[in-house]
Homo-oligomer: A and B are copies of this chain.
Amino acid sequence: MTVAGAEPTQDAAIRRNSGVSLWRQISDRIRRLETDGQLDPDGRLPPEFRLAEQFGVNRHTVRSAISHLVQEGVLRTEQGRGTFFRSRPRLAYPIGRRTRFSAGLEGQASTLQMVLVESATIRADERVAVGLNIEVAATVIWLRTIGLADGEPVSTAESWFPADRLPGIADAFRRTGSVTAALSLLGIDDYTRRATTLTATHASDDDLARLKLAPGAIVLVAVGVNVDPDGRPIQYSETRFSADRIELTIESA
């Protein structure tokens, strides 16, 4: 007679022709490894060939399972190194009338930083012109910035400013490292966010590079307009947040 329950809970074997695909069963099993604590302290998964042995399937079947978990954001793979669990709590980024990077994330990370990657003087295309309420092809200053929390990139933004009103915005930003401070330097002491549109898509190649994401990652895209106290648009921006690292909060008080 077999004594049931004599050993620690044993997972059922992977079953073929059960109506559930093998990669799916394996994927679920891997997911549980984390919570069950059967894992290296560094969150490293055994190599693919070993998992394949353990589960009694081909390496490709394991790869399929892993690939789905990567897309879900549960795992992260590094060629030549291994596959790792990822678990980081998200930072809460408030979006509202007064949306500001550093002030918004204050207290949630020990260092906050906004760096200017690139800037140029260009002509407004239609959506920028509409956003800033200027004419198409009017001159605008374009900035690309990256927001860092604890040195890790959490957002990347493109901003467009009307050149006639804020010709020195790029320099001012470079000196201060903040939109708020830069605008203040140029005589605009306050501004508010008029409207924000939010979408979510898979990260583009640019996103992957700038935000150091893995293929399949998700970005939250916030498009909005900031206006001065008189209601005149001074900044049109598109910010792309890593959905793994950021959640957006909307205070509608």
Contact = CB atoms under 8 A, between A and B. Distances in A.
Given A192-B252, A202-B218, A250-B250, A197 B72 contact: no
Interface string A175-200: 00000000000000000111111111
A61 to B, nearest CB: 14
Contact of A197 (B195, B249, B253): B249
A90 B201 CA distance: 12
Given A71-B71, A71-B216, A216-B71, A199 B250 contact: no
Interface residues of A, number: 34
28 contacts: A68-B215, A71-B71, A71-B202, A71-B216, A72-B201, A73-B202, A90-B199, A92-B197, A95-B252, A96-B250, A96-B252, A192-B252, A194-B252, A194-B253, A195-B249, A196-B250, A197-B247, A197-B248, A197-B250, A198-B198, A198-B247, A199-B220, A199-B247, A199-B248, A200-B219, A202-B218, A216-B216, A218-B218
